[in-house]
């Protein structure tokens, strides 16, 4: 259990540390209004989950939507409760007598995996008590040089909720459970994708596109890395968007005026939330 606690501490550290020093980065992220035929409305706001510096993302348009919103709708409602989220991760991540991590990667992925583990300070046999998906997420966090979840927008939106209800689209249990339910083959594909993405600029490109409100750039990011794998894309992107669409549409039609804040990549493309909500009969209009 010692290694699992160590991995958990590393994962939680990525959630809890506040960034210090870097100047704030200006941003003009995209915002949409969504309405039904009865005039009920809500808002769609794509977030970024981590950044190397604080983000200046507030604007009169976004603040106006936040002011009118009757509820805040997010992926994980208790995201700010680090201990609770980390406990869920620890419980689902636990494995027993797992093989060395390098043997869980394909031969084509092993060099990249070794480079990532060396950089992050992990030895090959240290993941014996950790399932493959959890090892992949741990290494993914270790690979984000200078990027901190404390600078992510999700937490700031939750703080803006005040006394208004927070509506949860899936929660930590369900979100992490999606990874936990992946077949071992797909968990190993995830591990390989994480290893190769550690040396790419995808995270930088995503942040750049988000800051500029560049929808084409955001959609391009949904075709790269682990989302280029059909099975992983279905489980981590397409199926989740379909499930969220029903909940968002229901909240709008009930007059709850939800301000929906989820990862920006979920908004775009033919199987993104905007397209799915329009297909469900709602009208979506870009405001910013």
- Please determine, for residue 274, whether its predicted confidence score (pLDDT) is greater than 90: yes
Q: How many contiguous H segments (helices) and E segments (strands) does the chain have? A: 13, 8
- Please determine, for residue 201, whether its predicted confidence score (pLDDT) is greater than 60: no
Worst-scoring range by mean pLDDT, 45-59, 189-203, 215-229, 234-248? Answer: 189-203
Residue 24 domain flag: no
- For range 48-72, the mean pLDDT: 93
Note the pLDDT tens digit of each residue in 118-166: 988 999 889 999 999 999 999 887 765 566 777 889 888 998 999 999 9
Collapsing DSSP to helix, strand or coil, 57 comes out as coil
Residue 47 domain flag: yes
Residue 30 domain flag: no
DSSP string, 44-61: EEEE-S-BSS-EE---HH
Q: Are 249 and 73 in contact (CB under 8 A)?
A: no
d(CA 10, CA 141) in angstroms, rounded, equals: 8
Worst-scoring range by mean pLDDT, 38-47, 217-226, 272-281? Answer: 217-226
Residue 134 domain flag: yes
Instruction: Please state, for a pLDDT cut of 70, what percent of the chain lies above it.
Output: 89
The total of structural domains in the chain comes to 1
Residue 26 domain flag: no
Q: pLDDT grade, residue 99 (50/70/90)?
A: very high
d(CA 220, CA 49) in angstroms, rounded, equals: 18
- Please determine, for residue 20, whether its predicted confidence score (pLDDT) is greater than 70: no
Range of the domain at 221: 2-15+35-271+279-286
pTM score, two decimals? 0.86
At 200 the pLDDT is 65
At 146 the pLDDT is 61
- Please determine, for residue 267, whether its predicted confidence score (pLDDT) is greater than 60: yes
Strands (E), 225-282: 258-263
d(CA 42, CA 19) in angstroms, rounded, equals: 32
Residue 114 domain flag: yes
At 144 the pLDDT is 57
Residue 163 domain flag: yes
- For range 178-191, the mean pLDDT: 95
At 212 the pLDDT is 94
Residue 138 domain flag: yes
């Amino acid at each position: 259990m010692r290694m699992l606690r160590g991995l958990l501490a590393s994962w939680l550290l990525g959630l809890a540390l506040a960034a210090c020093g870097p100047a704030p980065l200006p941003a003009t992220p995209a915002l949409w209004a969504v309405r039904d035929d009865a005039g009920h409305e809500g808002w769609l706001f794509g977030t970024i989950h981590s950044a190397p510096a604080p983000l200046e993302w507030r604007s009169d348009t976004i603040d106006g939507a936040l002011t009118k919103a009757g509820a805040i709708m997010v992926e994980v409602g208790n995201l700010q409760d680090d201990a609770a989220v980390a406990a869920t991760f620890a419980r689902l991540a636990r494995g027993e007598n797992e093989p060395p991590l390098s043997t869980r990667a394909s031969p084509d992925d092993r060099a990249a995996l070794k480079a990532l583990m060396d950089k992050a300070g992990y030895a090959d046999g240290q993941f014996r008590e950790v399932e493959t998906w959890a090892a992949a997420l741990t290494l993914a966090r270790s690979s984000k040089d200078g990027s901190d979840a404390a600078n992510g927008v999700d937490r700031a939106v939750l703080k803006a909720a005040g006394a208004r209800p927070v509506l949860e689209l899936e929660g930590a249990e369900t979100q992490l459970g999606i990874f936990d339910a992946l077949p071992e083959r797909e968990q190993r594909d995830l591990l390989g994708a994480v290893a190769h993405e550690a040396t790419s600029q995808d995270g930088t490109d995503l942040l750049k596109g988000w800051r500029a409100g560049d929808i084409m750039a955001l959609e391009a990011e949904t075709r790269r890395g682990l989302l280029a794998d059909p099975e992983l894309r279905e489980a981590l992107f397409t199926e989740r968007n379909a499930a969220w669409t029903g909940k968002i549409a229901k909240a709008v039609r009930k007059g709850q005026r939800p301000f929906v804040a989820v990862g920006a990549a979920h908004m775009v493309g033919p199987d993104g939330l905007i397209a799915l909500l329009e297909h469900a009969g709602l009208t979506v209009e870009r405001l910013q």
